[in-house]
A and B are shown apart, each in its own frame.
Chain A
Amino acid sequence: MKAWSEHRGRVLPLLRNDIDTDQILPKQFMKKTDKIGFGKLLFFNWRYLDENGTKENPDFILNQEEWSEASILIAGENFGCGSSREHAPWALVDYGFRVILAESFADIFYGNAAKNGLALIKLPKQILESIADKVNINPNMTLHVDLSKMLIFHGEEEYSFSMPKEISERITNGLDDIGVTLKHWDKILAFEKQMSLN
């Protein structure tokens, strides 16, 4: 995973609530045994009219020219609810998204996203709607997301957000969790020994 701490990008407004992982990456593509190429399958059932993914749905925002460069997604509440599939963040990241702004995120999805360099940022509804209004008028507008300052800049305006340090550091350092945990190997073995005595 590519580490990053600042991102500038265009914004795609998809202000729906309860966008579940079945919509983000449908089950038929979970039969893959690698992590590659999920981007073209993102939002498959909304994005394509046929089962082979050859006929794009022109009404779906992702297929519209003015939004094709977007790397920041705006959604409603409970984004990523449903299944625990990490295939959902794989698809979002492979497509090119780096940041999702939403009212709230499902718990399992929240944990999975950071491990793949995808920053999930909670913002109040009014701010999300105001950004969406602006971007609807000017799809070329960009946001500048700074994870170390926990600020989003848009021209003169800035929005602050909060994110647990462990989550933001995972994205900014791109660290391998297993490597970090293995530093505690002695403690794990000691715990196991204690447990077998109890």
Chain B
Amino acid sequence: MQGKTLYDKIWDSHEITKEGEESLIYVDQHLIHEVTSPQAFQGLRDAKRNIHRLDKTFGVVDHNISTRNRSIDSAEPISKQQMVWMLLNSKEFGVNVLNVDHPDQGIVHVVAPELGLTLPGSVVACGDSHTSTHGAFGCLAFGIGTSDIEHIFVTQTMRMKKSKTFLVKLQGEVGLGISAKDVALFVISKIGTEGGQGYVIEFQGEAIRKMSMEERMTICNLSVEAGARSGMIAADETTFSYLKDKDNSPKGDAWLESVNKWKNFKSDTDAKFDKEIELDLKECYTMVSWGTNPSQVVSIDGAVPDPESNLDSHKKTTARLALEYMNLKPGLRMQDIKVDKVFIGSCTNGRLEDIRRVAEIAKGYKVHPEVSAIVVPGSGRVKRNAELEGLDKILLEAGFEWRHPGCSMCLGMNDDHLQEGERSASTSNRNFENRQGKGGRTHLVSPEVAAVTAILGKLGGKKQLEEFTRTNQMIKGEK
């Protein structure tokens, strides 16, 4: 018998029934937040329905919250109203929600794994496209719309058509100083923003096996930017040791039983994927985006590409429009692009390891006087742990702002955003037009590049920081 993929195994174990091309799939964990759920709660009220499995429903308030303090009153009135509605709705229907001032509050895709709510072999759904993040745990996790949220509230199931499977095999090792974010952007640049459409991506390769859970989450988080609804990485010892003793992880005998069960959730060696691609990590450099979609990236040592010569015809118009919006000319070196703001955080890069990398670089340097740089931890736990390690002190000393958790400037639903014409280096996931603020221009980067950029005032990586340090020492020497 033909082997099965990880996706097939999870699908088959969660399919309740099938009608035509659509199946009814059981959802093990439903995560909600304040932005996409209010109309679903209203739907329940209108139809006099209730939530079937409160034990499988968990909520946070993350998109609107101010990162300056923990007071709901710091948000502008409409934001505050949406957060208040979340709390009222949850109370009325009995949903467990991390309130604004809860010590573990944070971004849904950071908090749920921390609490052990994301488990291998399970199905996770959330009204947020970056739900793909959770696939790092070898589960099937996907973003859904508000109608689906209401559907899961009532039935604990999703109606969906089975996706095709796409194996992305990463060959070789990740180069020194190259981060998971660079790898993810590299993958998107190779397969395109629509390359994963209709597929669920499974990432395999030695490099993936060597990655920490946090790095794997960065990879799966960005799979939606390649058009795939979900990204997945089969669970292994790294996954199990991350999950052990988490608040909601199975305990005692149940833990051993679960680990044994989870070990089966991997693609069989003879499994057939609908599409496969092998990418050589030798070609993966420190990446930075130049355009308005996450596939428009080059090496930090490279230059803005010329749409007329470097791209195939159907990408030309897209590239021309992107350069116009970004106000960039072909041939300009990426390292010569000045930025106004640096944002470090989001469900892509707002975890402890990300903040450690930023602090490691920032130590002993100062943020460029013309740059405002904010570090927004992904959750209360990330913040507390970073502070226990003294990372906040290093960052504050260097001139970064150390904020409270939230989605923040990734999409600027709170008061952290770009002004018209401002340019940012951002560790988030989307460089779409106007996303970080009307007329704002976003360069997607790794935490390392964000840190260096904050210091230099211009986009830069390790090499640019070394040059800067040498020049500065020379100047000091001359004095």
A residues with CB within 8 A of B: 16-18, 20, 22-23, 26-28, 30-35, 45, 51, 77-78, 81-87, 89, 104-108, 111-112, 115-116, 125, 164-166, 177-178, 180-182, 184-185, 187-188, 191-192, 195
A106-B17 contact given A82-B430, A177-B159, CB 8 Å threshold: no
Q: How large is the interface on B (under 10, 10 to 19, 20 to 34, 35 or more residues)?
A: 35 or more
Task: Tell me if B367 is interfacial: C-beta within 8 Å of chain A.
Answer: no
Interfacial chain A residues near B114, Cβ < 8 Å: none
A104's partner among B159, B163, B197 (CB-CB below 8 A) is B197
Interfacial chain A residues near B228, Cβ < 8 Å: 107
Interfacial chain B residues near A105, Cβ < 8 Å: 197
A78-B194 contact given A33-B82, A35-B39, A85-B36, CB 8 Å threshold: yes
- Asked if B42 and A33 sit within 8 Å, CB to CB, the answer is yes
- Asked if A34 and B39 sit within 8 Å, CB to CB, the answer is yes
B residues with CB within 8 A of A: 16-17, 19-22, 24, 26, 35-36, 38-39, 42, 47, 49, 63-64, 78-79, 81-82, 85, 127-129, 131, 142-148, 150-151, 154-157, 159-161, 163, 193-194, 197-198, 227-229, 292-293, 314-315, 317-318, 321, 411-413, 430, 432-435, 438
Q: Which 7 A-B pairs have the closest CB atoms?
A: A86-B145, A84-B143, A112-B145, A33-B38, A78-B194, A86-B146, A84-B129
CB distance from B165 to the nearest CB of A (A): 14
Interfacial chain B residues near A191, Cβ < 8 Å: 16, 26
- Asked if B434 and A84 sit within 8 Å, CB to CB, the answer is no
A18-B151 contact given A84-B128, A107-B197, A112-B145, CB 8 Å threshold: no
Interfacial chain B residues near A81, Cβ < 8 Å: 193-194, 227, 293
Q: Which of A23, A34, A87, A188 has the most CB of B within 10 A?
A: A188
- Asked if B129 and A108 sit within 8 Å, CB to CB, the answer is yes
- Asked if B16 and A187 sit within 8 Å, CB to CB, the answer is yes
- Asked if A27 and B412 sit within 8 Å, CB to CB, the answer is yes
Interfacial chain A residues near B315, Cβ < 8 Å: 17
* 25 A-B interface contacts by CB (under 8 A): A22-B434, A30-B36, A31-B64, A33-B39, A45-B433, A45-B434, A78-B193, A82-B129, A82-B432, A107-B198, A108-B144, A108-B145, A111-B160, A116-B147, A164-B20, A164-B21, A164-B22, A166-B22, A178-B150, A181-B151, A181-B154, A181-B157, A187-B16, A191-B16, A192-B156
CB-CB nearest in chain B for A108: B143
- Asked if B197 and A106 sit within 8 Å, CB to CB, the answer is yes
CB distance from A35 to the nearest CB of B (A): 5
